């Protein structure tokens, strides 16, 4: 009687171990495929971001049509039209047409027709930069990020980027921001 039970339990143990091995092999295969997929997705995303940055820099460089032009702002239209609650980046560039120096910039509000909101609160990050070394003939690019609140007042504001070189005003390009309704969807 003892021999009958031993054969069945050994056969069951072998079947269980074979099933375990198959499950482990399938799990490892799925893990490797999943990691490969995630790596491919992140590599593609990184490439796309780098490509977009290079294209924006190329478009900014096209804006420097005059050799003595000191700064440029890249906007798709004449003004930045931003929906309530959405973020928006305004790309700008500083070209050093003089000797090497230390640059800084500060965004200042010139005018607005807003009765409730302060347009300076639309900026996501502090709209300034300092101690930026730019070699003679080189171009520095950056972005100004804006994000009006979802309940921001529908209005328009005009801003100036005061660019200074070694403590003196270098250039003062202008841009306009118009807050639009977020719409139904």
Question: pLDDT digits over 65-107, tens only?
Answer: 666 788 888 887 778 899 999 998 888 889 999 899 899 999 9
pLDDT (average), residues 35-57: 84
Give SS3 for 39: helix
Residue 31: its pLDDT value, please?
A: 93
Res 102: pLDDT: 93
Q: Quote the mean pLDDT of the chain.
A: 84
Span of 23-27, 75-79, 114-118 with lowest mean pLDDT: 75-79
Please count the other Cβ atoms lying within 10 Å of the Cβ belonging to residue 93: 22
116: left (phi over 0), alpha (psi -120 to 50) or beta: alpha
Check if the beta carbon of residue 104 is closer than 8 Å to that of residue 133.
no
pTM for this model (two decimals): 0.65
Q: Are 105 and 164 in contact (CB under 8 A)?
A: yes
């Amino acid at each position: 009687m003892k021999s009958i039970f031993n054969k069945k339990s050994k056969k069951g143990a072998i079947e269980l171990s074979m099933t375990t091995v198959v499950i482990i092999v399938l799990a490892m295969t799925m893990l490797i495929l999943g990691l490969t997929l995630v790596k491919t997705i992140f590599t593609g995303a990184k490439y796309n971001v780098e490509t977009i940055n290079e294209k924006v820099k190329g478009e900014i460089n096209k804006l420097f049509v005059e050799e003595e032009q000191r700064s440029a702002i890249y906007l798709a239209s004449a003004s930045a039209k931003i929906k309530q609650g959405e973020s928006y980046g305004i790309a700008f560039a500083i070209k050093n047409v003089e000797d090497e120096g230390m640059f800084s910039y500060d965004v200042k509000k010139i005018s607005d027709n807003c009765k409730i909101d302060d347009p300076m609160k639309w900026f996501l990050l502090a709209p300034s930069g300092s101690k930026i070394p730019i070699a003679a003939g080189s171009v520095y690019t950056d972005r100004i990020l804006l994000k009006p609140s979802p309940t921001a007042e529908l209005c328009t504001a005009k801003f100036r980027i005061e660019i200074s070189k070694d403590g003196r005003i270098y250039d003062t390009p202008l841009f306009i921001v118009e807050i639009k309704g977020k719409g139904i969807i």
